[in-house]
Copies of this chain bind each other. A is one copy, B any other.
Amino acid sequence: MTVKLVVLYTHPDDPDAFDHYYFDTHVPLVNVIPGLLRAETGRLVAAADGGEHTYFRAAELYFADQAALQAGFGSEEGKATAADYQKIAPHGSRMFVQAVDD
């Protein structure tokens, strides 16, 4: 069963500087994680429920299954990505594993 890592970034102090670093430095680290099938990202532009606009950006990293995800983040490339995430993720950012229903 396909799984994805779902990352929810809270609002950075400087959104444009965040995105500049994100696309120039973080995404290239993500793209070489072994086993990564697909990645998708985008800004959360509105809270459709009228509640708090909690998150600034979301990213989803797809892997064939949970073992592939774990192997990916156990690799040097995965560790480099995780270390960079720790550097850039604003306080309150979240990260979940989702089992995608096919």
- Please give the residue numbers on chain A whose beta carbons come within 8 Å of chain B beta carbons, in ascending order: 3-6, 40-49, 51, 53-55, 58, 66, 93-101
How many identical chains are in the complex?
A: 2
Interface of A is mostly: strand
Tell me whether A98 and B49 are in contact (CB under 8 A): no
Tell which of B49, B66, B94 touches A95, judged by Cβ atoms closer than 8 Å: B49
Q: In whole angstroms, how far apart are the Cα atoms of A41 and B6 in the complex? A: 12
**From residue A28, how far is it (CB to closest CB) to chain B in Å?**
14
**Contact in complex: B42, A101 (CB < 8 Å):** yes
User: When the two chains form their complex, are residues B101 and A48 in contact, meaning their CB atoms are under 8 A apart?
Assistant: no
Q: Which of B4, B5, B48, B96 contacts A97 (CB 8 A)?
A: B48
